[in-house]
């Protein structure tokens, strides 16, 4: 009876610990360091996220043609989850820079071009049950980022046409 009680207690204690495990960071330590070094430079940070997302997209594209194995499907699923997480992080950064009225127009054109490429790669992935949910999440995140980037491009163009003295700024500072 005590053995059964000990086993049940162990399972009750272990269940919350297992639930607390989180997905690892989508960026490598070196990539995190590069983001940190970019600091508050909005254009630099956006360009780094675009670079890292392009690398992930190239990896996904390379996995499409490989033999259909469970290891491939698992790797694609992991890559798609990381890709979605990076898309969301970039979107969060764009929100911050938009609120600050940071001039990120230089990085928006390459971002918009890359988004089109990413969407093509995501849509060219075959529909397989092992990663379909992650694929759909990535397609949705990419679409949301595309909408956000297009709106931000229009907003920034209009804002900096009216406020030419603030061109190139990192953040809005009231005068």
175 domain residue, yes or no: no
pLDDT of residue 25: 85
pLDDT of residue 173: 53
pTM for the full predicted model: 0.81
Domain count, the chain: 1
For each successive 10 residues of the chain (175 residues), what is the average pLDDT? 57 50 77 90 95 96 91 95 96 93 93 97 93 96 97 93 78 53
16 domain residue, yes or no: no
5 domain residue, yes or no: no
The whole domain housing 126 covers: 29-163
Q: Which two tokens stand for residue 64?
A: 């499409």
10 domain residue, yes or no: no
146 domain residue, yes or no: yes
Q: Are 142 and 119 in contact (CB under 8 A)?
A: yes
Long-range contacts of the stretch 139-146 (C-beta < 8 A, 24+): 141/83, 141/84, 141/87, 141/88, 141/91, 142/87, 142/115, 142/118, 143/119, 144/87, 144/91, 145/87, 145/90, 145/91, 145/94, 145/115, 146/112, 146/115, 146/116, 146/119
130 domain residue, yes or no: yes
Indicate which CATH number applies to the domain containing 49: 1.20.120
Query: Which candidate, 171, 161, 148, 166, places its Cα nearest to that of 92?
Result: 148
pLDDT of residue 135: 96
174 domain residue, yes or no: no
124 domain residue, yes or no: yes
pLDDT of residue 127: 87
């Amino acid at each position: 009876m005590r053995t059964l009680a000990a086993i049940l207690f162990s399972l009750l204690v272990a269940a919350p610990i297992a639930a607390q495990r989180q997905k690892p960071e989508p960026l490598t330590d070196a990539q995190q360091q590069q983001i940190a070094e970019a600091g508050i430079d909005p254009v630099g940070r956006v360009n780094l996220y675009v670079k890292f997302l392009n690398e992930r997209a190239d990896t996904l594209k390379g996995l499409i043609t490989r033999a259909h194995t469970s290891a491939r499907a698992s790797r694609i699923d992991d890559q798609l989850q990381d890709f979605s997480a990076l898309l969301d992080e970039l979107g969060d950064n764009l929100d911050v820079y938009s609120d600050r009225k940071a001039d990120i127009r230089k990085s928006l054109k390459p971002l918009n071009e890359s988004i089109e490429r990413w969407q093509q790669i995501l849509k060219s992935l075959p529909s397989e049950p092992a990663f379909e949910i992650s694929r759909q999440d990535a397609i949705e995140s990419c679409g949301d980022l595309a909408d956000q980037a297009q709106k931000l491009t229009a907003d920034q163009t209009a804002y900096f046409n009216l406020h030419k003295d603030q061109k190139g700024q990192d953040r809005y500072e009231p005068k």
